[in-house]
Amino acid sequence: MPFPAAGRRAPLAPPQPCGISSAISLAAPRDTDHELTQKLVETLKPFGVFEEEEELQRRILILEKLNNLVKELGVHTKGADIDALCVAPRHVDRSDFFTSFYDKLKLQEEVKDLRAVEEAFVPVIKLCFDGIEIDILFARLALQTIPEDLDLRDDSLLKNLDIRCIRSLNGCRVTDEILHLVPNIDNFRLTLRAIKLWAKCHNIYSNILGFLGGVSWAMLVARTCQLYPNAIASTLVRKFFLVFSEWEWPNPVLLKEPEERNLNLPVWDPRVNPSDRYHLMPIITPAYPQQNSTYNVSVSTRMVMIEEFKQGLAITHEILLNKAEWSKLFEAPSFFQKYKHYIVLLSFSAPKENPDKEEFRTMWVIGLVLKKPENSETLSIDLTYDIQSFTDTVYRQAINSKMFEMDMKIAAMHLRRKELHQLLPNHVLQKKKTHSAEGIMLSAVNDSSLHLTVDSENSMSVPLPMGATKTGPLTGSPQGRSSPALAVMTASVTNIQAPEVSLQQVNPSESSGVTLSESIPQTPSQPTISSPPKPTVTRVVSSTHLVNHPPRPSGNAATNIPNPIVGM
């Protein structure tokens, strides 16, 4: 795909209502705006956010291959480079998609890492087709045949549909509607590339982790474009941070007035639905049925994002004054120096070559901010329920997606900042990510750095990479009675090259000093679902973000082991 011609001057949009309100400014871009936009494009290029023509044609070819497979099932597809929608006529059942079509995909030599997640909120088949990760959704329409020129924006298609089919259709419908609601698609796309890259670099790109996913970021950018219809990307990026650093949440972000269709489908409406009144950062999809795309946002993750918006505004102001370059906006924060307390999650895959050797595979690090109760110098918390609940969820998801193997294990532990060297060497703890043509580089960690025994003031005992089977409890000061809720799942956000270790990290805000005492449940060798009573929750500001690395090679050939924790 060619790079956008940032210097090209598009005709001004006519003065007309944009979205649900009038525009804030109709000012035309100045010469300095065009220059800053061109600099922004040049800064984005090394990050690989623009798709080359060769890569675009490769993705189109893959979709054509998928389309041929689907036509053998008797349906047609509408897809993009990562997400594809399989649209079926009424005589094709959902079971056909998850059985015969799944089996057909399994026979294709280009298909790797195939898995079906039939019980998900939006059922999906996930796969890697010729090196490209693809999610395939399914929707059965009440039509005898599917026309090639089918317009999914037609609300009448939703009549008498299964709710799962409506959810599957919703992604394409929302995307199409967003593009119809922005005044200039090229400016919108370039601005969105910049904002999505910024969000990934600052560890706030993931819907399932309580931040924002791709659709939510797109809607925020679209609203900015509506408010400044004649602005170009450099101005829109700056105005994006201005608008949403001052947004009065939980006032919703709407791209257009909600419309009634009398199809009796549930829509986001806090006047009718009491649960909708508790959404903290509502961003409402423009296609019927309107939904809040940010229902996972918590008090803590919203706080983190607002702080990031403010920092982004400050940086873009410096860029406007020629006191900084665009590259500063995409610098990653110093995560391992930022907090005093961390939760570390470890996952171990089933041994492949040597059954007696259990190698460390993937690690998640979660920074914690803990607020001490009034009139108290210390805070004691018990993480037993939260970690057990998380573990149960992971195993259940692994089983439902047909990925679970008996030797797969996960474990969790608490570490203070000064104890992180027990898991990571100093050159990683102090290493800042540097830009490269492939994105971001992180120094490798060798095996000698991954001994997981911790001999600290908390006398922690955790699984070893070699032959350990379970986690012993943490001991220390008397256990507390409050438990912070840890909402931690996994999602593919961006790739970082680390040849010898899988590392995933998350970024919250500044931590305060407290005294902790935890009890970590044993890590089972197979799923054991439990549900003890939920204790009182102490306010914990935690932020989570995952960055996937390739698995470290084993022997002479690199092994490709799927992540045991399945995200969206």
Binding positions are 77, 81-83, 135, 196, 205, 214-215
In angstroms, the CA 487 to CA 298 distance is: 9
β-pair type (439-441, 434-436): antiparallel
223 within 8 A of 236, measured Cβ to Cβ: no
Three-class secondary structure assignment of 524-557: CCCCCCCCCCCCECCCEEEECCCCECCCCCECCE
- Closest to 231 (Cα-Cα) out of 13, 17, 2: 13
Q: How far apart are the first and last CA of the chain?
A: 27
Angle, helices 214-227/233-245, rounded to nearest 10 degrees: 100
Place of tokens 């998850």: 98
In angstroms, the CA 361 to CA 550 distance is: 10
For the CA atoms of the chain, what is the radius of gyration?
A: 24
Residue 26 corresponds to which tokens in the numbers above? Answer: 């109709």
Per DSSP (E only), the strands in 326-416 are 341-348, 362-370, 409-416
- Closest to 311 (Cα-Cα) out of 333, 338, 286: 333
- Alpha carbon 89 to its chain centroid, in Å, reads 32
564 within 8 A of 403, measured Cβ to Cβ: yes
Residue 410 corresponds to which tokens in the numbers above? Answer: 């996960």
1 within 8 A of 51, measured Cβ to Cβ: yes
Residues 6+ apart with CB under 8 A from 293: 207, 212, 213, 215, 216, 219, 283, 284, 285
Residue ranges of the annotated binding site for Mg(2+) are 81, 83, 135
Residue 494 corresponds to which tokens in the numbers above? Answer: 């961006």
Task: Give the CA angle between residues 309, 310, 311 to the nearest 5°.
Answer: 95
Angle, helices 233-245/299-320, rounded to nearest 10 degrees: 140
Residue 240 corresponds to which tokens in the numbers above? Answer: 């994006």
Write phi, then psi, for 314 (nearest 5 degrees): -65, -40
Residue ranges of the annotated binding site for ATP are 77, 81-83, 135, 196, 205, 214-215
